[in-house]
Amino acid sequence: MNFDNIINQLVRTGTPWYDKLNEAGTAAYDQLNQAGTKAYDYLRGEADNSFPGTSGGPTGTAPTPESPEANAQSFLKERIEQVKEIADKGIIPVPTINEDVHGLLTGAKAMMGVFGRPYRLLSNPGTERYLQSNVDLAAQGKSYNVGDTFRYGGDIYNPKGEIVQKATPGWYTTRGLGDDDTSSARGLGGQMHLVVGEGGVVTTRDKFNTNHRVGRHLGTLGEGVWTGDLDKIGNAMIGLPVATAEQLGFLNQHPNGTEFVVGKVPLNRY
């Protein structure tokens, strides 16, 4: 029995129902975005009335620094970013207390799909320390340039079982991190592709998923039950609903925002 085919059949059968639910959730969420957009449009119009060209239109001249026009333009840019951030990360604040709770809530928001998008998961000191420890292991004490990329993760294999990309040094040997990380906080990032930005800020745009399809998780579950391997059973039970939601097209793959800040690294000095 091909379980992936079963899931695909469920997708075809359930799509009309899901589309209706998705439309309802999207409509409710769009109301939040529209409110922010209307507020921005109003501010933009008022600024243009007072200072022609302030909002980036063709009229007027470029404002000089510290001028009223420049201040108004800066204010508008901040409002634009706020509207974008609401659409990306949500608007209703949800405290996360520590890294484990944050990891669990990340999974919960992802599984809620469009209905979880209005909720904004707030960070906390525990989460920041945890993510920074991941970055520190991946960075290996090196300095970077803006735009550099590096990886936090294990060995990557091709279909022949050959290693095509080696693991982060220490991934398999560092206690409590990498392959030894069994905490709920692992849901925050897991294996990540990292990008260095201004000021050494490190972000990831990786998607929240399991990297495996439903059939693979069911196979792991069956193997775990057959051999009594509790680790395989646990991993399959966690991964199975996530993979199912992903194949159904319901999973929110960026529950903490499209660009998630995970730490900092030192920059090279020239």
* CA-derived radius of gyration, the chain: 23
Is the CB of residue 145 less than 8 Å from the CB of residue 161?
Answer: no
Residue 57 has pLDDT above 60, yes or no: no
Residue 195 has pLDDT above 80, yes or no: yes
The stretch 212-227 carries a mean pLDDT of 79
Please tell me what DSSP assigns to residue 266.
P
pLDDT at position 210 is 73
pLDDT at position 256 is 94
Of the pLDDT bands very low, low, confident and very high (cuts 50, 70, 90), residue 23 is low
Is 0.75 topped by the overall pTM?
no
More confident residue, 82 or 124: 124
Is the CB of residue 150 less than 8 Å from the CB of residue 69?
Answer: no
Across all residues in the chain, what is the average pLDDT?
A: 80
* Residue of 34, 189, 29, 184 whose CA lies nearest to 113: 29
The Cα angle at residue 201 between residues 206 and 254, in degrees rounded to 5: 25
pLDDT per residue as tens digits for the range 103-155:
999 999 998 998 999 999 999 999 999 999 999 999 999 999 999 999 999 99
- Please count the CA atoms within 13 angstroms of the CA of 108 that sit on its side-chain side: 13
> What is the number of other CB atoms lying within 10 angstroms of the CB of residue 159?
5
The amino acid present at 200, given as its one-letter code, is: G
Of the pLDDT bands very low, low, confident and very high (cuts 50, 70, 90), residue 54 is very low
The Cα angle at residue 36 between residues 30 and 37, in degrees rounded to 5: 85
More confident residue, 7 or 70: 70
Q: Residue ranges of the domains in the chain?
A: 3-35+92-264
Which three-class secondary structure state does DSSP give residue 202? Answer: strand
Distance CA 4, CA 214 (A): 6
pLDDT per residue as tens digits for the range 163-192:
899 999 999 999 999 999 989 898 898 889
Residue 48 has pLDDT above 70, yes or no: no
